[in-house]
Amino acid sequence: MAKKVDPITLSVVRGVLETTQREMTVALENTARSSVFNLAHDYSNAIFNHVPEMIMQGQDIPIHLGSLIPAMKCVAGYFGDDIHPGDVLMHNDPAYMGSHMIDTCMYKPVFYKGELVFWAVCKGHLTDIGGPVPAGYNPDAKELYAEGLRIPPVKIFDKGVKRYDVMNMILTNLRARRDQEGDFNAQLGAVQVGERNLIALLDKYGLEEVRACIDELMGMADRQMRTLMKKVPDGTYSGTAIVEDAGHGLGDMEITATVTIEDDNCHIKIDSPPQVPYFINSYEGNSYSGVYLGVMMFAQLPPPYNEGLYRCVSVDMGPKGTLCNAKEPAPHMNCTTTPMETLTDAVRLAFEQAVPDLVSASWGHANGCNIAGWDTRHDEEYVTMVLASIISGAGATPQQDGWHACGPECCFGALTSGDVELLEYSYPIIIHRYSLMTDSGGAGKYRGGSGTCWEVEPIDKPMTFITFGEGRRIPAVGAAGAKSQMTEPKVGRIEISREDRVDLIKTNVIETINPGERAANMNPGGGGYGNPFERPVEKVLHDVKNQLVSIEGARQDYGVVIKDAEGLEIDRAATDSLRADLVAAQ
């Protein structure tokens, strides 16, 4: 390895890039208006070089960052030579490598001494993007046009001059204009902070040295990933995961990832069925996020995170017009969770075939809700995505139990759910329950993390309750031989309690909940790792004591017999014999 750059400067440049990304994030969070930004962290920031390659990926939402890699190239390519100092570009359209339309991106080219040197980029989930259904998720959409406003690459600043006409055109099409405008300002602030810091860096070290350092940082990420790939035996491995029928009536669908390892290179081929007239089609940009997250669930590498990680990874997303490589006008709004999480699982499973000891289990998929209605306290409409409703369990790893309440898989712990009292203060609702769920974590030598239940009742006026996602029939997939017997508590579901009955719902629906009625949104737990019958009985007992596992769950899932429900005493003899039987039956 030729050492071209000064090692000290290299460390400093890396620190400045990380600080810059962090300050972009702080600027965005402190100024944004919507709770999806403020409370939930549903945004991401990144820095690109002139090529443009992603040179700094934050630790933000995985679903955003993978897709930014092709999106940045697509948007820069669209304008070609027509990019000037003072420009700011905006875009959300999946046909131009966007993820889903409600995630809107801002791109600021950074010029230094007249030369385009960097891009500061910010992507965030708005609370609304127009279209017939508030908050964007429309399970009845048959086409992209029924899901909101498509924004192809446009300039919102042209050589430093704000394009009020373009902004007005966009804002006119969105609900809650004041909030959306505030969020756009916040994004603009973030990319400006990025620009300011990057220029200061160049002033100090000069373009040539900074570029050399960045090349080296990308080279490091590349070498890290290649070193890892080299450890995987050459060969072809495949993994298949199932996208559940979440109410469209088209039946279950399969996504298969075929991973071919040759020396230190990795090729991933995706096979998925033809696209469907339901909001779960994933365009190419979004599918990159799914594939890259699957790779990272295997790789689990430390920073630096940049595009160098994926230099040795080539991807064939399958023919246009398929579920994972959709073409216009396929509807897509649900794609960042479904089928993205299934796609991630397929890639992860293929790697598990290759190196079973290294790959973590799948996390619970998103099974969430949006709510809307009338707030009589202020006489105004309310609408929001409820991030607290998608908090699932994390998958167990080869080293430890999965984290409780950390998912969904597509967000990998980056979301926050918001305080119960703040939500009740902001919306006319009573949250009756926000808790972990017994027996929800996947069984394994290492247990999957518990999913959560979020139960809500509207005050005064009926509430519109819109569900999205899946993971309601098939539990999060375990790893290294982990398997649960008691599956029902491990999947997502919705229970609506009315005066005389409780409805169990496992599809995507739009329901009306009246005051006095309750909707409970239950999220799946994470998958387990390793053979559950090898889990030490003390750990099972500990989980039973804490009601993370029931006495019946201990018997069925772990072969542990507890004879005294009061004193929680283990029947060693019965446990040994039950475990022996269960192992024999495996």
Partner 1 sequence: MRTKYRLGVDAGGTFTDFVLAGDAGNVSLFKTLSTPEDPTKAIENGLSLMAEGLGLKQEEIISQCDLCINGTTVGLNALIQHKGAKTGLICTAGHEDSLEIRLGHKEDGYRYDAEYPPAQMLVPRYLRRGVRERVLSNGSVRTALVEEDVRAACTLFLEEGVEAVAISLLWSVLNPAHERRAAEIVREMMPGSFLTVGSELYPQVREYTRTSTAVTNAYLGPTLKRYVDSVDRYFADHGAKYPVRYFQSNGGLAIGGAMTDRSVYAINSGPASAPQAGLFVSDPFDQKNVITVDMGGTSFDITLTKDGNTNLNKNIDFLRYRIGVPMIQVETLGAGGGSIGWIDDMGLLQVGPQSAGADPGPVCYGQGGTEPTVTDANIVLGYVNPGALLGGRMQLNRDKAYAAIKQRVADPLEISVERAAYGIFTIVNNNMVNGIRRVSVERGFDPRDFVLVAAGGAGAAHITALAREMGIDSVLVPKLASGLCAFGQVISDVKYNYMASAPHRFEGDATFGQLNDLFAEIEEQGVAHLEADGFARADIDVRRSMDMRYVGQVHECTVDIGNFDITGETADQVKEAFHQRHEQLYTYSERHNAVEVVNIESTIYGRVEKPNPPHLGDGAGAAGALKSQRPMIFSNDGKAVDCPVYDGERLGAGDEVDGPAVIEEVTTTIVIEPHWQALLHESGSYVLRRKA
Scanning residues 189 to 218, which ones bind partner 1 (CB under 8 A)? 189
- Cis peptide preceding 273, ω within 30 of 0: no
Q: Which of residues 144-173 bind partner 1 (CB under 8 A)?
A: none
Query: Per-residue x/- marks for partner 1, 503-532, CB under 8 A?
Result: ------------------------------
Helix (H) or strand (E) segment spanning residue 542: helix 537-545
* Pairing of the two strands 265-271 and 313-316: parallel
Stretch of 139-147, 275-283, 392-400, 508-516 lying at the interface with partner 1 (CB under 8 A): 392-400
Under rule CB under 8 A, residue 3 binds partner 1 = yes
Residue 554, number of CB atoms within 10 A of its CB: 25
319-338 per-residue burial string, b: 16 or more CB within 10 A, e: under 16: eeebbbbbeebbbbbbbbbb
Considering the rule CB under 8 A, would residue 224 count as an interface residue with partner 1?
A: yes
Are the beta carbons of 263 and 367 closer than 8 angstroms? no
Torsion angles phi and psi, residue 472, rounded to 5: -105, 0
Report yes or no: 434 and 388 within 8 Å, Cβ to Cβ.
yes
Q: Which position among 122, 246, 391, 480 is part of the footprint of partner 1 (CB under 8 A)?
A: 391
Distance CA 372, CA 498 (A): 19
Task: With contacts defined by CB under 8 A, name the span among 37-45, 78-86, 136-144, 479-487 that binds partner 1.
Answer: 37-45
Smallest gap, in angstroms, from Cβ of residue 555 to partner 1?
19
Specify the amino acid at residue 258. T
Closest C-alpha among 522, 358, 536, 359 to residue 447: 536
Residues 350-379 binding partner 1 (CB under 8 A) are: 360
End-to-end CA distance of the chain: 50
Which of 289, 325, 384, 397 binds partner 1 (CB under 8 A)? It is: 397
Q: Which stretch binds partner 1 (CB under 8 A): 270-278, 341-349, 402-410, 550-558?
A: 402-410
Residue 41: which region, alpha, beta or left (left: phi > 0; alpha: psi -120 to 50)? Answer: left
306 binds partner 1 (CB under 8 A): no
Nearest distance, CB of residue 59 and partner 1, angstroms: 5
Q: Does 283 bind partner 1 (CB under 8 A)?
A: no
Among 158, 254, 264, 424, binds partner 1 (CB under 8 A): 424
How many residues interact with partner 1 (rule CB under 8 A)?
Answer: 78
Q: Is 175 in the site for partner 1 (CB under 8 A)?
A: no
* Residue 436 binds partner 1, judged by CB under 8 A: yes
Helix segments in 267-419, DSSP class H: 284-299, 340-354
Instruction: Kindly tell me which residue out of 30, 172, 314, 577 binds partner 1, with binding defined by CB under 8 A.
Output: 30
The residues in 58-87 that bind partner 1, with binding defined as CB under 8 A, are: 59, 62
Would you count residue 39 as binding partner 1 (CB under 8 A)? yes
User: Of 139 and 364, which has the nearer Cβ to partner 1?
Assistant: 364
Among 277, 320, 321, 425, binds partner 1 (CB under 8 A): 425
Only one of the segments 335-343, 345-353, 433-441, 477-485 lies at the binding site for partner 1 (rule: CB under 8 A); that segment is: 433-441
What's the residue count for the chain? 586
Q: How far is the CB of 518 from partner 1 (least distance, A)?
A: 11
Pairing mode, if any, of strands 569-570 and 562-564? antiparallel
- Alpha carbon of 118 to those of 21, 191, 207, 282, 360: distances in Å? 13, 11, 11, 29, 35
